[in-house]
């Protein structure tokens, strides 16, 4: 074993919430809803899925955007509705909550692992600079694990990512920003 | 509607207008960026602002409770009904001009948002909490560019200084208060922006000085955005921004 990973408090709370008995099967059901931009991650993995409640016949799902302008939110809403509809829940309401603001800390451990395998460096694979922002080098390359990398652009293919390139294997890769 | 609710509706609309107008101006760079990564950066920053506008407008629509939604606020109001700060509507100009405007705006949000976070209004505070994180990234980029351009070649220095001089007179309005905003500031809902000018000036002048640029004298000022008196630029921008929605009312895709 190389390291003992500690689970942040937020993630622990989320797991507790997920394991609450009454809507447990709905949490499992919504694991099939993926982020349209990062299709290996479910909205649970990303921390976008905040709550599921049963209000009589109605299922109320609360989601939160990663970034203010995340264009995936409309897609995610309709995917959630569709998933629930096809499982027989016809009365679905989606709430968007802004507070507390989404944090990359909410991403599940499983999500981080999947992200890395998909070729995207998760937030903890770079040491942040003194301002707590994405550094200009040394994010770990998800392809060859080298730390000899450099930031190509602060802003990547989506709002949540920055673009890096590995100086050893030369592959470009996305880094999931810490916010 | 109570005075405070009406003022909050007006305030959310103003903040939404600032965001959507600046967001649209930034988006005008998409596919015209000097290189690919910068092009993508513009797209990202623009989306952050348009996202903010959506949150402010959605809240405004909720307060108005008259059947309008966020799209009605963005697309169905004319220039005289817009209440954005004039700085946000200035045309994109050259690259230096856009980056200097961005620096002025990013520093403005850097001093404004932590105050808005303290708002007693939960929604305004929640929007500020999201926006603060994004603004850190925005400011780092505009600051880096202004330093690079100001302290760059003779040509880039000249253009950046020109942009600073041309935009300076539009920054005074950022710190004006009127009755509506004063009422909200007194209630702990809105921000007293008149108290933010010193902090803004200090940050901006430090960056300009480091970029070997000259901080302009306060010799002229243009105002009017908050009362609906705009430069001619806004009308042209809105026709472009609103044409699709107005041509196909209610269209969703």
- List, for residues B95-105, the tens digit of each pLDDT value: 999 999 999 99
> Angle A119-B136-A38 (CA atoms, 0-180°, nearest 5)?
25
Residue A157: which of A177, A174, A135, A133 has the closest Cα? A174
Residue A51, beta-bridge partner list: A62
- pLDDT score of A98: 85
Nearest to A153 among B23, B41, B126 (CB): B41
A75 at interface of B, judged by CB pairs closer than 8 A? no
Find chain B residues with C-beta within 8 A of A69's C-beta: 23, 46-52, 54
**Banded model confidence at residue A131, pLDDT cuts 50, 70, 90:** confident
CB contact under 8 A, B129 and A157: no
Q: Could you tell me the domains of chain A?
A: 9-106 (3.30.300.130), 119-176 (no CATH)
A132 at interface of B, judged by CB pairs closer than 8 A? yes
Residue A38: which of A101, A96, A122, A97 has the closest Cα? A122
Q: What is the mean pLDDT of chain A?
A: 88
- pLDDT score of A4: 65
pLDDT digits (tens, 9 = 90+) for A26-42: 999 999 999 988 888 99
Count of alpha carbons within 13 Å of A18, Cβ hemisphere only?
17
With respect to CATH, is domain B3-247 assigned 1.20.1260.10?
yes
pLDDT digits (tens, 9 = 90+) for B57-72: 999 999 999 999 999 9
The model's pTM is 0.88
**Banded model confidence at residue A5, pLDDT cuts 50, 70, 90:** low
- Residue written as tokens 């509705």? A81
Strand order in the sheet with A149-153: A120-121, A172-176, A161-166, A149-153
Residue of chain A whose alpha carbon sits nearest to that of B39: A155
* Pairs from A90-96 (Cβ < 8 Å, separation ≥ 24): A91/A57, A91/A58, A91/A59, A92/A58, A92/A59, A92/A61, A93/A58, A93/A59, A93/A60, A93/A61, A94/A61, A94/A62, A94/A63, A95/A60, A95/A61, A95/A62, A95/A63, A96/A62, A96/A63, A96/A64, A96/A65
Rg (CA), chain B: 18
Residue of chain B whose alpha carbon sits nearest to that of A133: B137
Encoding tokens for residue B226?
């908050």
Count of alpha carbons within 13 Å of B30, Cβ hemisphere only?
13
Residues of B near A (Cβ–Cβ under 8 Å) read 23, 37-38, 40-41, 43-52, 54-55, 122-123, 125-127, 129-131, 133-134, 136-137, 140-141
Residue of chain A whose alpha carbon sits nearest to that of B142: A154
Nearest to B141 among A71, A154, A177 (CB): A154
* pLDDT over threshold 70, residue A2: no
Residue of chain B whose alpha carbon sits nearest to that of A98: B126
Find chain B residues with C-beta within 8 A of A99's C-beta: 122, 125-126, 129
- pLDDT score of B83: 98
Residue A94: Cβ within 10 Å count: 17
**Cα(B179)–Cα(B185) distance, integer angstroms:** 10
Find chain B residues with C-beta within 8 A of A159's C-beta: 44, 47-48, 134
Percent of chain B at pLDDT exceeding 90: 93
Local structure of B152: helix, strand or coil:
coil
Q: What is the mean pLDDT of chain B?
A: 96
β-pair type (A120-121, A172-176): parallel
Percent of chain B at pLDDT exceeding 70: 100
More confident residue, A30 or A71: A30
Nearest to A99 among B41, B122, B141 (CB): B122
* pLDDT over threshold 80, residue A143: yes
Nearest to B136 among A67, A133, A155 (CB): A133
Residue of chain B whose alpha carbon sits nearest to that of A151: B37
- pLDDT score of A72: 83
């Amino acid at each position: 074993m190389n390291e003992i990973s500690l689970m942040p408090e937020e993630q622990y709370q989320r797991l507790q919430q997920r394991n609450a008995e009454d809507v447990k099967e709905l949490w499992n059901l919504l694991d099939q809803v993926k982020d349209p931009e990062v299709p290996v991650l479910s909205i649970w993995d990303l921390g976008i899925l905040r709550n599921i409640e049963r209000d009589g016949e109605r299922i109320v799902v609360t989601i939160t955007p990663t970034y203010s302008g995340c264009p995936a939110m409309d897609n995610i809403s309709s995917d959630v509705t569709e998933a629930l509809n096809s499982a027989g829940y016809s009365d679905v309401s989606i709430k968007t909550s802004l507070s507390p603001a989404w944090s990359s800390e909410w991403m599940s451990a499983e999500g981080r692992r999947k992200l890395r395998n998909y070729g995207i460096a998760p937030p903890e694979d770079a040491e942040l600079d003194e301002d707590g922002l994405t550094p200009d080098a040394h994010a770990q390359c998800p392809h060859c694990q080298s730390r000899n990398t450099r930031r190509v652009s602060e802003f990547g293919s989506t709002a949540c990512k920055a673009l890096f390139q590995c100086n050893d294997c030369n592959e470009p890769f996305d880094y999931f920003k810490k916010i | 509607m109570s005075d405070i609710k009406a003022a909050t509706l007006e305030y959310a609309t103003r903040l939404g207008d600032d965001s959507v107008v600046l967001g649209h101006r930034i988006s005008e760079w998409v596919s015209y960026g000097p290189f690919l990564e910068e092009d993508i950066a513009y797209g990202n920053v623009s989306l952050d602002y348009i996202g903010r506008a959506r949150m402010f407008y959605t809240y405004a629509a909720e307060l108005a409770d008259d059947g309008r939604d966020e799209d009605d606020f963005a697309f169905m109001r004319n220039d005289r009904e817009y209440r954005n700060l004039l700085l946000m509507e200035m045309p994109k100009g050259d690259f230096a001009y856009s980056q200097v405007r961005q620096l002025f705006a990013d520093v403005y949000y850097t001093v404004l948002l932590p105050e808005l976070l303290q708002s007693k209004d939960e929604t305004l505070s929640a929007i500020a909490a999201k926006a603060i994180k994004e603004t850190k990234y925005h400011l780092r980029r505009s600051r880096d560019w202004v330093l690079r351009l100001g302290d760059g070649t003779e040509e880039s220095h000249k253009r950046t200084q020109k942009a600073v001089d041309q935009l300076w007179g539009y920054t005074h309005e950022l710190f004006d208060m009127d009755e509506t905003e004063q009422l909200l500031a007194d209630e702990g809902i809105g921000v007293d922006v008149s108290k933010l000018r010193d902090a803004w000036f200090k940050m901006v002048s430090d960056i300009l000085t480091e970029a070997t640029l000259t901080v302009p004298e306060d010799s002229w000022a243009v105002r009017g955005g908050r009362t609906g008196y705009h430069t001619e630029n806004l009308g042209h921008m809105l026709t472009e921004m609103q044409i699709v929605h107005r041509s196909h009312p209610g269209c969703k895709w």
